Amino acid sequence: MKITTPEVRLSSSILQNIKGKTLEILFGLALFLAGIVAGIWLELWPAGFNFILLTAAYLLTGWRIIRQAGINISRGKFFDENFLMTVATLGAFALGEIPEAVTVMLFYRIGDYFQNRAVSYSKSSIRNLLEMNPDRAKIKTDDGIREISADNLETGDLAVIGCGERIPADGKVVKGRANLDTSALTGESDPQPVAPGSQVKSGMLSLDGSLEVEIQQRSRDSAVARIIKLVEEAAARKGKTEKFITRIARYYTPLVMALAVLTALLPPLLAQGSWQTWFYRSLVFLVISCPCALVISIPLSFFGGIGASARQGILISGSDFIEKFAKIKRVIYDKTGTLTRGEFELAGIECFNDFAREDILRYLLAAEQYSSHPLARSLCENKNLRKELEEELPEVDYLEEKPGQGLEAKIEGEKILAGNRHWLEQDLGYDFPSSARGKAEILLVINDRPAALLYFTDALKSGAEKLITALKSAGITGQAILSGDNQHSVQEVASSLDLAYYSDLMPEDKLSLLEKFLEEGDAAIAYLGDGINDAPVLARADLGVAMGGFGSDAALEAADVVIMNDDPGQFLTGLNIARMTMRVVWQNIVLALGIKALIMLAGFLGFTNLWLAVFADVGVTILAVFNSLRIIWRYRQRGEHLD
């Protein structure tokens, strides 16, 4: 599947134009220098030759700007940097300041050149995403191995991945072992080993082995496709600060045009100087007032933040969410799959009411194979349990999954209920005489009789404790766990992390609690989750953060931020990127407006000229652009975590 985002198309066009624009600048500079030399040693040249050279330099360097100004005027857009440059330089020509007019265009084009190179560089992370996405796939058929378009892959196909090839779509390894480079997808720098039964994502690169992968998602629904879609949408969204700049630019340009006209007219009318002097000062005013530094560097700063985050395996859905990310003051967590690994190991089975262990396993495995809950996955992937059964699993006649509760099924005429303690004991009134309270559990009811209780062990993710400690040090208080698991299970995790907790929660209970937290104060709240029962809370939180490696589709759709490697510690990296991005944005705003205000005042008082004005304008723009690129340079290495 080949996806080309608007940003990538823009980057390609920029690169294609760089060579031609470079030649224009170099030839323009040569003609300009020749014209200056001709003016100094005029006796060596024919009369007016320096004028011809300087005019040629002006046209060569300025024709694109003059043409764009004309196009914009024909469309009713009078006030932009092209219009300002054209008016200022033609005015300089009218005053006989031809070298200054050429300098304005030349400096502006040089600044524009560096800006385009900077923009192209900042978008390299998006091009890297596209390179992850294979166009072709090899599949195993009855007639042998054949190559097809990745778009034509179907679920159930058996893809063959050789050493040095990328996985074309999400699936499960059925044969072979290899170490995978997942850095482009998750930000994880260390190779990840996979074996039969391992889940793999599109875009992962086999470093040292061959694999056969059963395709579970079509290419257009794969991890890479979701990433590209998220980043494409993110680049199209504007944050409040970016919208503020766009809004300011709309009124700013006509305002400075009006001030420039007043500068040219009022002082001479009040007998405070000559018309030529004040007309020249108004041109200086126009040149320095160009809002280029703002309108270029602010969006570039946000895009830099989005690109840097993507490099780290953190997908942010838009610049408005970078702003929200930077303002987070409270963090709420789901437990299973977010703070804990969600890779449960069966610790024991208790049977009740004379139900045989074999029947319990037959019914439970048959029903749970359709569930995406971590406990269900752990149960169905337990090879020892499958070995206990001497016959195939029975057919499921009816099944309904109840998010946050469990499932109801009909198997071989038997009514099956499997779920958590809150649902089966408190809501439905069943009584389980178990000594295993406090563990992660699946309770089983067969024909309205308690049949079994299975309990599991789970472990904290390696980044969980570091994240919570670091956030507390950063002044983010009020962290808590909202979980649908039983009280003792949640309490055990919460105590180890020194967090407040709420247990036995249905999805609507989580949402109600979050609403309560939001009403209690004006602190921005982030919610980290991964399951389908987290989707409503992820959508409602100020910032919804989903664990994207194996999070549910509903959670990923509802989230504003996706952490691709499932490491909660990456939230800290994302927070630091967001905060750095906002610092750079406001640095650029203050830098641009502050220096422009000083030079505009100096120009009004006659202490500067067009040369200094254009140098200041282009210089400030270049400074702001390179300041924006600091975000990408700081996070250019994949898998980098901040202390």
| Domains contained in the chain, CATH given | 6-122+232-306+578-634 (no CATH), 136-219 (2.70.150.10), 319-340+460-559 (3.40.50.1000), 345-457 (3.40.1110.10)
CA within 13 Å, CB half, 196: 4
Rounded (10°) CA dihedral 493, 186, 166, 12: 160
In 218-335, DSSP assigns E strands to 314-316, 328-333
Adjacency order of strands within the sheet including 199-200? 144-149, 136-141, 158-161, 211-215, 171-175, 199-200
Size (the chain), residues = 643
**Global confidence as pTM:** 0.60
Structure tokens at 456: 């599991």
- Condensed to tens digits (0 to 9), the pLDDT of residues 397-440 reads 888 888 778 889 999 889 999 988 888 888 898 988 765 555 67
Q: What's the pLDDT score for residue 124?
A: 52
Measured in degrees and rounded to the nearest 5, phi and psi for residue 406 equal 160, -140
Q: What's the pLDDT score for residue 444?
A: 93
- What is the CB neighbour count within 10 angstroms for residue 9? 10
Greatest distance between any 2 Cα atoms in the chain: 116
- Report d(CA 332, CA 375) in Å as an integer: 22
Number of H helices, E strands in the chain: 22, 22
Candidates 112, 181, 334, 458; catalytic one: 334
- For 23, counting Cβ atoms within 10 Å of its Cβ (0-12 exposed, 13-18 middle, 19+ buried), the class is exposed
- Report d(CA 397, CA 643) in Å as an integer: 53
Q: What's the pLDDT score for residue 9?
A: 41
Q: What's the pLDDT score for residue 234?
A: 46
8 A C-beta contact, residue 159 and residue 137: yes
Measured in degrees and rounded to the nearest 5, phi and psi for residue 272 equal -105, 15
Q: What's the pLDDT score for residue 575?
A: 92
Q: What's the sign of the alpha-carbon dihedral 435, 438, 442, 448?
A: positive
- Report d(CA 620, CA 81) in Å as an integer: 14
User: Which of the residues in the chain have pLDDT under 50?
Assistant: 1-16, 122, 125-126, 187, 234-235, 639-643
Q: How distant, in Å, are the alpha carbons of 61, 571, 592, 613 from that of 618?
A: 15, 37, 10, 9
In 379-521, DSSP assigns E strands to 396-402, 406-411, 414-419, 440-446, 449-457, 480-482, 500-502
Structure tokens at 64: 């694109």
Residue 504 bears catalytic tag: no
- What is the CB neighbour count within 10 angstroms for residue 170? 25
